[in-house]
A and B are shown apart, each in its own frame.
Chain A
Amino acid sequence: MSSIYLVDYYSNTIKSVVHQITVIPKIIFLLFVLFSVVISKSLFNLILIFFVIAFLIVIAQLPLLKILKWSLYSAFFASLFAVSQIQYGLLPFQTMLKAIDAALLMLFVVCTTPYPALFSLFGKISTILANVFFMTYRFFFLIIDEIQTKVMVLKIRGGYVGGPIKTLKNIGSTIGRLFIHSIERSEKLYDIMIIRGYRGVMFSRTTFRFRLFDLLLIGFGVLIFLIAIIL
């Protein structure tokens, strides 16, 4: 998925002030703001949150338009709910804005925090979950080229031009091949991991610290939350 690829790229290559903030303060900020979005009953508040996150995205040197475009994906599904509330004044707008705000917030956090740091938090809950998250992450980037090549080959060889059923059959065969190859590769990877001593432990070293900007971000989150309660 190209957006995962880019999100990963942004979080690992951009060196803004926001990127330097460690994962825990970002999660605390995320929870405060997300909760503010969820409980918010004021359209004004939701618009305010939208601009605050957009501002933070700019500060983080991220491409605002691209991230806004991604956040609109959530608006598509939110519209199913919004349309069913169309007779209730501003409510549909609130529903849409809540979805966009929340998506924008998530994107802001993942575009400024490398996935390993985020996933390391799962290690505190369950080693199995942490293992699966880390391996999914690593394997995603191992096979992304393969699937892109397969889709390209499918297109070049006329896989999309023989009518809908033929197209789906071609896609099915491509995915089938991908499944088989991936399973065989995962078996091979397991063997290699065993040679490297694998006994069910996967971890990522994460920095936990609270410096000025870390505290500022938390403070910002608390402020937004307080405004949401007041409004």
Chain B
Amino acid sequence: MHIHIPDGVLPIWLWLTGFLVTSILLVIVLPKLKKEIKKIPMVGMMTAVALLVMSIPLGLPVHLNLMVLIGLIVGVRWSLVVALTVNFILASFGHGGLTIVGLNTLLLWLQATAGIFLFRFFIKFFKNYFASASIVTFISLFLSFLLLVGIVAVSQVDPRNFLSHKHEHQAVETAYHENHESEVNTEKIKKETEHAREEETLAHTKISLITFTILSLPIFLLGAVVESLVTGFVVQFVRRVKPELIIKSLKH
């Protein structure tokens, strides 16, 4: 599961950075995937399954996305393509913003990648597929949640940025003029004004970040517990019925 960030909440530079990072990763990954066209139908099928699994009713206000499980099956590189495809299709009907597709892709890819590496590590110690898959899924989702909170923190969701820039500009300009009148050198003025601006912004970010985290945490926990258990049960089932699928994933 993941929390969808809608359009218009994050600053432009941040979501553009999301697209940039995703694009760079794609530029690195896609040429390597050209040698693996045999896997394309399976990746397409897994993406379709991911979209369909979201529609399975759980009796709870969350849905599954099973990125960790898909990561285990398709591997690190293809997970990036799955994450992008799922997010684009979800965004196309309003689940998560189109401008956020880049960042959301990174969030889902982190889930899959962390899941793959952690699973290889955990299975050596636990030897229990259900426990390993469940714990690994929970940790991966938690890492992804931390990244989400990090994104919101970095975004400096300062309400005044949304309402109007005038207030902040005025404060900065006043500081500038006051400093200018006292004839302090230009560099010092710049530093001080920047510092004043930073302090103001951070203060607001902190407030909204705490509220946001408090609100999101229960939804995350509920979704993460459900997804971890379901992933554990799926892995246990697959291990029993078609073990080579999981064994293959350990050799990726």
Q: A4-B51, A85-B159, A168-B229 are in contact. Are A80 and B212 (CB under 8 A)?
A: yes
Please, which residues of chain A bring their CB within 8 A of the CB of B160? 88
Please, which residues of chain B bring their CB within 8 A of the CB of A106? 91-94, 98
A136 CB–B CB distance under 8 Å: yes
Residue of B nearest to A43 (CB): B163
Residues 5 to 61 of chain B near chain A (Cβ within 8 Å): 5-9, 12, 26, 30, 33-34, 37-38, 40-49, 51-59
Q: A88-B163, A99-B7, A106-B91 are in contact. Are A128 and B212 (CB under 8 A)?
A: no
Please, which residues of chain B bring their CB within 8 A of the CB of A142? 48
Please tell me which stretch of B114-122, B182-190, B233-241 contacts chain A, meaning at least 4 of its Cβ atoms lie within 8 angstroms of it.
Answer: B233-241
B97 A74 Cβ-Cβ under 8 A: yes
CA distance A169 to B234 in the complex (A): 8
B230 CB–A CB distance under 8 Å: yes
CA distance A172 to B230 in the complex (A): 5
Please tell me which stretch of B81-89, B171-179, B195-203 contacts chain A, meaning at least 4 of its Cβ atoms lie within 8 angstroms of it.
Answer: B81-89
CB distance from A20 to the nearest CB of B (A): 20
B245 A95 Cβ-Cβ under 8 A: no
B208 A85 Cβ-Cβ under 8 A: yes
A175 B56 Cβ-Cβ under 8 A: yes
Residues 90 to 120 of chain A near chain B (Cβ within 8 Å): 90-91, 94-95, 98-99, 101-104, 106-107, 109-110, 118
Please, which residues of chain A bring their CB within 8 A of the CB of B242? 180, 183
Majority DSSP secondary structure for residues of A touching B: helix
CB distance from B150 to the nearest CB of A (A): 15
**Sample (6) of A-B pairs whose CB atoms are under 8 Å apart:** A88-B162, A99-B7, A136-B85, A147-B55, A169-B233, A176-B237
B69 CB–A CB distance under 8 Å: yes
A147 B69 Cβ-Cβ under 8 A: no
B216 CB–A CB distance under 8 Å: yes
Annotate A62-99 by CB proximity to B: 1 below 8 A, 0 otherwise.
00000000110111011011011110111100110011
Please, which residues of chain A bring their CB within 8 A of the CB of B66? 175
Please, which residues of chain A bring their CB within 8 A of the CB of B41? 135, 139, 186-187, 189-190, 193
Majority DSSP secondary structure for residues of B touching A: helix
Annotate A177-213 by CB proximity to B: 1 below 8 A, 0 otherwise.
1111011011101100100001110000000000000
Q: A74-B95, A135-B45, A172-B236 are in contact. Are A128 and B159 (CB under 8 A)?
A: no
CB distance from A152 to the nearest CB of B (A): 11
Q: A132-B47, A175-B230 are in contact. Are A71 and B30 (CB under 8 A)?
A: no
B52 A136 Cβ-Cβ under 8 A: no
CA distance A134 to B34 in the complex (A): 16
Annotate A152-170 by CB proximity to B: 1 below 8 A, 0 otherwise.
0000000010000101110
Partner pick for A90 among B91, B163, B207, CB 8 A cutoff: B163
B92 A1 Cβ-Cβ under 8 A: no
Interface size for A (C-beta < 8 A) is 86
Residue of B nearest to A86 (CB): B211
A residues lining the B interface (CB < 8 Å): 1-4, 7, 30, 34, 37-41, 70-71, 73-75, 77-78, 80-81, 83-86, 88-91, 94-95, 98-99, 101-104, 106-107, 109-110, 118, 126, 128-129, 131-140, 142-144, 147, 151, 160, 165, 167-169, 171-180, 182-183, 185-187, 189-190, 193, 198-200
Which range holds the interface residue count of chain B? 35 or more
B40 A78 Cβ-Cβ under 8 A: no
Query: Apart from A136-B47, A136-B85, A183-B45, what are 6 other A-B pairs with CB-CB below 8 Å?
Result: A70-B94, A84-B212, A91-B159, A134-B44, A189-B41, A198-B37
Residue of A nearest to B52 (CB): A147
A83 B215 Cβ-Cβ under 8 A: yes
Partner pick for B49 among A129, A137, A143, CB 8 A cutoff: A143
Closest 7 CB pairs of A and B: A172-B233, A135-B44, A98-B8, A103-B94, A176-B237, A99-B6, A102-B7
CB distance from A35 to the nearest CB of B (A): 9
CB distance from B95 to the nearest CB of A (A): 6
CA distance A2 to B51 in the complex (A): 10
Annotate B86-108 by CB proximity to A: 1 below 8 A, 0 otherwise.
00110111111111000000000
Residue of B41, B54, B91 ringed by the most chain A CB atoms within 10 A: B41
A179 B49 Cβ-Cβ under 8 A: yes
A180 B233 Cβ-Cβ under 8 A: no
